[in-house]
């Protein structure tokens, strides 16, 4: 009887420990992502899984008034910059982006004049998944994942909160 109790306790411990070791990160990292993309009105950030650097394309705009009721925006200060990024940082960015895309936050945040347009996504194989927010003002305050994404990118490059 004593042996039965010991075996029973051992099996219960083994089964409960093996189940608790499975968590969401294991599920998330099983996706072999290829490209991460963060796009706002004035910049596009592209991170490729196989490259040691990321690319930041920027373009500022200048308001050009055509007449009283019509204004166009002329691109100025176009540029491209490369930044170093480790595989661990890229994988962290993927987890933040994955969470943003798979669990979008429906927010009441609103800003006028299209301030805070952001598109965040990833590509895997022949599929691209994105989450797009329009006129949300400071996009970094939408969720914990958007805040973490911003903080990590800010360490590497210049990136706008709006």
Q: Of 46-50, 56-60, 79-83, 140-144, which gets the smallest average pLDDT?
A: 56-60
pLDDT score at 135:
80
Range of the domain at 74: 24-156
- pLDDT band at 133, cuts 50/70/90? confident
Residue at 9 is within a domain: no
pTM over 0.85: no
Q: Is residue 8 part of a domain?
A: no
Would residue 111 count as lying in a domain? yes
Count of domains in the chain? 1
In a domain, 65, yes or no: yes
Q: Is residue 2 part of a domain?
A: no
pLDDT-derived band at 52, boundaries 50, 70, 90: confident
Q: Strand order in 35-40's β-sheet? A: 70-84, 53-67, 43-48, 35-40, 118-124, 127-133
Q: Is residue 18 part of a domain?
A: no
Summarize pLDDT for 4-36 with one digit per residue, the tens. 555 555 445 444 444 433 333 444 456 789 999
- Does a structural domain hold residue 78? yes
Asked whether residue 61 is assigned to any structural domain, the reply reads yes
């Amino acid at each position: 009887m004593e042996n039965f109790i010991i075996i029973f306790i051992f099996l219960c411990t083994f089964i409960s420990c093996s189940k608790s070791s499975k968590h969401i990160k294991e599920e998330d990292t099983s996706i072999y992502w290829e490209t991460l993309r963060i796009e706002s009105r004035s910049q596009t950030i592209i991170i490729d899984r196989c490259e040691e650097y990321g690319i930041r394309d920027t373009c500022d705009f200048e308001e050009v008034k055509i007449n009283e009721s019509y204004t166009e925006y002329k691109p100025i200060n176009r540029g491209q910059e490369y930044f170093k990024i480790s595989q661990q940082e890229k994988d962290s960015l993927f987890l933040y982006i994955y969470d943003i895309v798979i669990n979008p936050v429906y927010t009441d945040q609103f800003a006028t004049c299209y301030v805070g347009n952001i598109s965040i996504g990833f590509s895997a194989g022949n599929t691209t998944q994105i989450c797009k927010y329009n006129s949300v003002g400071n996009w970094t305050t939408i969720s914990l994942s958007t805040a973490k994404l911003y903080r990590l990118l800010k360490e590497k490059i210049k990136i706008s909160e709006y």
